[in-house]
Structure formats: C-alpha cells, structure tokens
Amino acid sequence: MRNIVEIKGLSKSYFNKKALNNLALNIEEGKVVGILGPNGSGKTTLIKILTGILRETKGEVLIDGHEPGVYTKSIVSYLPDRNFLYNWMTIQDALSFYKDFYKDFNEKRAYELLDFMKLKRDMKVTSLSKGMTEKLNLTLVLSRNAKLYILDEPIAGVDPVARDQILDAIINNYNENSSMIITTHLVRDMENIFDDVVFLREGEVYLTGNAETLREEKGMQIDELYKEIFGE
C-alpha cells in the first residue's frame, strides 16, 4: 500500500531541548493512526510540522510526495488543539470561508453535521462553549473530502456526551480512501477507531504497530499498554 506520509530522520530542537529526535515514520493510505504519548512527548510538534506551521531542524517530511507547503495544505484537513476561527465569524461565515478556500469542502455534509451537533448557523463563534467550539471545528474539518485528516486532541476538555458525539462524527464521516492521524492521551476513549498506533516518547517512536496485533501480542488493551509504557 502507498504511503501518504513519509518521515525520515526528523528532528526539532528548541535551543537545547529536543522535541523530536531522529524520528522515522510512514503512514499508509486509508489508515487511521493514533499518535499516543503524554504531554511533551512531541505529538503536537510532529503535527505542526506536518501541517506546515513549524519547520523541522533536520530531516525530511513528505505528504503525498510533497514537502509541506501550499499543495499539502490543500489536501490536509487540520484540527488544531485551540480556537483557530476568526473572532468576528458566525458559524455560517466559517462555513463560507471553508467553502471558498477548500475545493474539497462538501457543504451538504457540513449542514448535516451541524444538525447532528445541534449547532445553529447564526451563532457567533465567540459565544460558543468549549464543547460547542470543538464540535464546530470538527464539523468544518470533517466536511472536507481531504486526502489526510490531522486531528490534534479532538476530545480533550469536552464533556462525555459531547465526546461520544464527536467520536460518532469521526467514525461516520471518515471515508476509506482518506487517511487520518489523531493525537490523544485519552487512549481508552479512542482506541477502537485506530488501525495503527504510534507511541511517542521524548520525541522518538517507542513502539508502533497494528492496534489489533499489538493487543494480541501483548495480551492487553492499547490503553493498558499505554499505561505500562508511560506509567513508570
């Protein structure tokens, strides 16, 4: 199977601190990959490099055969771990914005998802609660027919009801020709949707593999494995 993401010898240093250290990783097309690790393990740094808003110190990153840039931004649908929409926007403005900038935006799906998330189009983005903001951001990101989805901590800080709704939306709207990278430290809630998992520790890949195979080999759930690796 073809790789949608190819990473070789990737390092990122901040002064004397290494956020990523000679990381190598390939992600196959059509897979949902969980990048797992505690805070400070390099998850967000890796994702920022993939989305073109952070530069590597060393190494090579290719997405669909291209270095991060204008082309990769047009095929990657990115959910950052923060409120990234402009403050003046209503939900409708945000939808129009996505429609204008991304050719792969599916407006019909966006309206269906808004209904599913119980969000109204005339709401201002500044008036939304944390859970609602997360749902709106996810609606926008999942409404694109992107080749690669990158979701950074999609369920962090939202209540359990919203969490289930968000997970359902991810499962129902994911299309099999696309790939998805999800970072999380809430492994138990998300482990069932991963095909592959990558455990990151201090900027390096500690363990990687097919989620099901790992469960069989180690005789435990991914969540338990996570605790074993990082719980020392």
Partner 1 sequence: MGKYIKYEIKGSYKVILGILAIVLIASTVIQVNVRTGGFDGSRFPLVAFLFSLTIFGTFLTAFLFIVGSFRKELYEDRGYLTFTLPLTGNQIVGGKLIVAIMWFIVLGFVTLLYNIFLAKILFDIYLPFKEMFDVFNTFSKEAITFIITAFIGGVITLILIYFSMALSRVSIRNKKIGGLWFIIFLILNALVAYFNVKINGLIPYYLNLNTLEITHLKGLEYLPNITMNMNGASITMGTGEGAFIGIAGMIYNLVVGIVAFLGTGYIIENKIDL
150-179 positions binding partner 1, by CB under 8 A: none
Q: Is 157 in contact with 116 (CB distance < 8 Å)?
A: no
> How far is Cα of residue 168 from the mean position of the Cα atoms in its chain?
15
Select the span of 86-94, 113-121, 156-164, 187-195 touching partner 1 (CB under 8 A).
86-94
Q: Is 21 in contact with 204 (CB distance < 8 Å)?
A: yes
For residue 97, state whether it binds partner 1 (rule: CB under 8 A): yes
**DSSP letters spanning 195-214:** SEEEEEETTEEEEEEEHHHH
Q: How far apart are CA 106 and CA 99, in angstroms?
A: 8
When binding is defined by CB under 8 A, the residue of 3, 21, 22, 74 that contacts partner 1 is: 74
For residue 87, state whether it binds partner 1 (rule: CB under 8 A): yes
For residue 88, state whether it binds partner 1 (rule: CB under 8 A): yes
For residue 51, state whether it binds partner 1 (rule: CB under 8 A): yes
We find the least distance from the C-beta atom of residue 67 to partner 1, in angstroms, to be 10
Give the x-and-dash track for 29-48 against partner 1 (CB under 8 A): -------------------x
Q: Is 184 in contact with 36 (CB distance < 8 Å)?
A: yes
Select the span of 71-79, 115-123, 200-208, 210-218 touching partner 1 (CB under 8 A).
71-79
SS3 108: helix
For residue 83, state whether it binds partner 1 (rule: CB under 8 A): yes
Give the contacts of 88 (CB within 8 A, at least 6 positions apart).
none
DSSP 177: T
Q: Is 8 in contact with 60 (CB distance < 8 Å)?
A: yes
For residue 149, state whether it binds partner 1 (rule: CB under 8 A): no
For residue 100, state whether it binds partner 1 (rule: CB under 8 A): yes
For residue 73, state whether it binds partner 1 (rule: CB under 8 A): yes
For residue 199, state whether it binds partner 1 (rule: CB under 8 A): no
Give me 112's structure tokens. Answer: 């269906």
Give the footprint of partner 1 on this chain (CB under 8 A). 14, 48, 51-55, 69-71, 73-74, 76, 78, 80, 82-89, 93, 97, 100-102
